[in-house]
Amino acid sequence: MPNNDIILSVNHLVTAFDTEGGRIKAVDDISFQVNKAHTLGLVGESGCGKSVTALSVMRLLPKPAGVIESGQILFNNTDIASLPADQMHEIRGKRIAMIFQEPMTSLNPVHRIGQQIGEVFQLHFPEMGESDITTASLELLNKVGIPEPEQRMVEYPHQISGGMRQRVMIALALACKPDILIADEPTTALDVTIQAQILDLIQKLQQETGMAVIFITHDLGVIAEICEDVVVMYAGKVAETASVIQLFKNPKHPYTQGLLDSIPRLETPRKTRLNIIKGMVPGLTELPSGCRFRNRCPHAMEICATEPPPSMQVGEDHFAACYLHV
Ligand SMILES: Nc1ncnc2c1ncn2[C@@H]1O[C@H](COP(=O)(O)OP(=O)(O)OP(=O)(O)O)[C@@H](O)[C@H]1O
Ligand SMILES: [Mg+2]
């Protein structure tokens, strides 16, 4: 029975790249759900497949190397993994929008900000006239907290600060009131104060519009602050999915436990070293057999080298892919 609270359901998604060394699976059989109006955090170390997951949902994989090999991405019960490109065009940017880590690469440096916002309206609402577009653009810039929006409209991206550029990116993403906003490390390039402002802004806009947010980060502190649900990824697989409360209170996967142990805490005496997880994420061409985390895992057992561990239910809406829980 379809669950009406779920807006996006990723089922057994496999996304691969054709490289000189052959085909590699950057995302290998992952499943997770996004609830309406909720914020889902996607967390994991660098290279674990967070951005590839986001680009798969947006159908923006680099072509021709990147392909969705199998699996489903159900958006409102339509499988967008296999949707023809022209139909995906109707959804991308309008129903599912994304903000990227480095706004300079996704804003056009030679177009004025007003023009770039106007283009989004033109593309998705061709019936809008010029003055309507100007009014809507100003309203949008106001909404994302950009002071003196009339002035900003005629400026170029390099003329405004990084924090303001990120706000422009958010304005562009929100122009069509999407059902899902994917934010891929939208604050990592910003200083801490601006980061906090951007997080507040995303949360405020989410409350107003009821959109779902997929928030990608390697920062568990950010996850704790803004997410309801969490997916922990490791080397192209999902290690654990849980509510944010369960994940912090009762982490079940040794990888999640390691990530949590590496967060600096107030009570940690200064100058003591944090418990970082030993070793590195394996490259996709040198994955160990069985569980991909086993070489770094303090609990590794014989069985871990055999087959990849299945996802096990360990609580209500709580799953971990680990033989400790089989
Ligand atoms: N265009 C590509 N061609 C080949 N491999 C790629 C390509 N893009 C990504 N990959 C590989 O896919 C894997 C996952 O990359 P991805 O960018 O999703 O990681 P990530 O979790 O977003 O990391 P980060 O936190 O650094 O952004 C990596 O091993 C990466 O090298
Ligand atoms: Mg990334």
pLDDT in tens, 67-103: 999 999 999 989 999 999 999 998 999 999 999 877 6
- Sequence-ordered list of residues with C-beta below 8 angstroms from that of 240, at least 6 positions apart, any chain: 230, 231, 232, 247, 251, 252, 253, 255, 256, 318, 319, 320, 321, 322
Query: Above 70 in pLDDT, residue 272?
Result: no
Is residue 200 over pLDDT 80?
Answer: yes
* pLDDT band with cut points at 50, 70 and 90 for residue 274: low
Report the pLDDT value the prediction gives residue 2, as an integer from 0 to 100: 56
Check whether 239 has a pLDDT greater than 80.
yes
Over range 132-141, report the average pLDDT.
Answer: 95
Q: What is the mean pLDDT of the chain?
A: 92
Find out whether the beta carbon of 284 lies less than 6 Å from any atom of ligand 1: yes
Q: What is the pLDDT of residue 269?
A: 58
Q: Span 15-43, mean pLDDT? A: 96
Question: CATH top-level class for 6-234?
Answer: alpha beta
**280 in ligand 1 pocket by Cβ < 6 Å?**
no
Cα 73 to Cα 34, 56, 169, 255, 265, distances in angstroms: 11, 9, 25, 26, 37
Q: Which residues contact 233 (CB under 8 A, 6 or more apart)?
A: 30, 42, 43, 44, 48, 49, 50, 53, 239
Q: What is the pLDDT of residues 155-189, one digit of tens each?
A: 999 999 988 998 999 999 999 899 999 999 888 77
Boundaries of CATH 3.40.50.300 in the chain? 6-234
Q: Is the pLDDT of residue 206 over 90?
A: yes
What is the model's pLDDT at position 111? Answer: 95
Tell me which of 263 and 225 has the higher pLDDT: 225
Q: What is the pTM of this model?
A: 0.93
For the record, the structure tokens of 149 come out as 């929006």
pLDDT above 60 (res 273): no
The DSSP 8-state label assigned to residue 217 in this structure reads: E
Determine the Cα–Cα distance for residues 277 and 234; give it in Å rounded to an integer.
Answer: 13
Task: Identify whether the C-beta of residue 31 lies closer than 8 Å to the C-beta of residue 11.
Answer: yes
- How far apart are alpha carbons 212 and 178 in whole angstroms? 9
Q: What pLDDT sits at residue 307? A: 95
pLDDT at residue number 194? 81
Ligand 2 centre from 136 Cα, in Å?
31
Tell me the percentage of the chain whose pLDDT exceeds 90.
75
Q: What is the mean pLDDT of residues 299-304?
A: 97
3-state secondary structure 56-81: HHHCCCCCCCEEEEEEEEEECCEECC
Bond from prior residue into 64 cis (ω within 30 degrees of 0): yes
Residue 13 CA to residue 73 CA, distance in Å, equals 7
Cis ω before 178 (30° cut-off from 0):
no
Given pLDDT bands bounded at 50, 70 and 90, which one contains residue 197?
A: confident
Q: Which residues of 174-183 are buried (b: 16+ CB within 10 A; e: fewer)?
A: bbbebbbbbb
Instruction: Give the pLDDT confidence score for residue 188 in this predicted structure.
Output: 77
pLDDT of 270 > 60? The answer is no
- For residue 45, which ligand has an atom nearest its CA? 1
Query: What would the mean pLDDT of 255-262 be, rounded to a whole number?
Result: 93
What's the token pair of residue 236?
């192209």
Looking from the CA of residue 54, the nearest atom of ligand 1 is: 18
Res 267 pLDDT > 70: no
For ligand 1, say whether the CB of 46 is within 6 Å of any of its atoms.
yes
The answer to whether residues 58 and 83 touch, using CB atoms and an 8 Å cutoff, is no
- Distance, CA of 38 to CA of 286 (rounded, Å): 36
Which pLDDT value is given to residue 262?
84
Confidence of residue 253 (pLDDT cuts 50, 70, 90): very high
Query: Is pLDDT at 50 greater than 90 in this prediction?
Result: yes
From 17, 27, 42, 218, the mutation candidate for ligand 1 (largest count of ligand atoms within 8 A of CB) is 17
Q: Is the pLDDT of residue 5 over 60?
A: yes
Max CA-CA distance within the chain?
A: 68
Is residue 308 a contact partner of residue 290, using CB atoms and an 8 Å limit? Answer: yes
Spatial separation of the C-alpha atoms in residues 78 and 73, rounded to whole Å:
8
What pLDDT, on a 0 to 100 scale, did the predictor assign at position 103?
64
Cα pseudo-dihedral 204, 199, 228, 276, rounded to 10: -170
Q: Is the CB of 48 under 6 A from ligand 1?
A: yes
